[in-house]
Amino acid sequence: MQAGGHGVGQYERLIMMAEDELTQYSTDARKLEKLRQKIGLSVSAAEQRQVKDMLLAELPTDPISKILMDQRQAAALPFWGIAGLGMLLGISMLQPLDFLATGAGVAIAIWIQRRGWKLEAKRLVLQTLLEIEAATQPPTPKG
C-alpha cells in the first residue's frame, strides 16, 4: 500500500465519516446502519478490504487503549479533577506552581478524549466493514 494510494484516502474519509456519526446522538446500531449505507454506496469492495486490513493492523489491543476506546470520558475524569483542584489551590493560596497541575491535567484529559474519539471512530468503521463483509459472504454449508 503506497502512502499516497487511493485506499489511504478512503481510509481517512471513512474515519472522518465515523467521527461525524459519533457526534450524533443515536444508538451504536443506528450509527452502524448509517455508516453501512454510506460506505456501501461510495467505497468499492476492494477498497473496503484494504481499509479493513489497515484498521486490523493499526487498532491497538492493549488494555489501556481498550479503556480509552470504550470509556474515554471516565478515563479523562480524574485529570479534569486534577485540573480543577490545581486551579482552586492556585487561586486560594496564590501558588503559581498549582497552575502547572491545572495545565497538565487539562492537557492529559484532552489527549485522552481525543485519542479515545479517534479509536472509537476507527472501531466503528472496522465494525461496519466487517458487517458489510459478513452480509456479502455466501453461507457456508454446515458439515
In tens digits, the chain (143 residues) has pLDDT values of 344 456 668 888 889 989 888 888 888 888 888 888 888 888 888 888 888 888 888 887 787 777 766 777 777 777 777 777 777 777 666 666 666 777 777 888 888 788 878 888 898 898 888 888 888 777 666 65
Domain residues of the chain, as ranges? 6-136
**What pTM was estimated for this model as a whole?**
0.67
Q: What is the pLDDT of residue 111?
A: 82
Q: What is the pLDDT of residue 56?
A: 84
Cβ 51 vs Cβ 43: under 8 Å: yes
- Look at the block and give the residue holding cell 461525524: 20
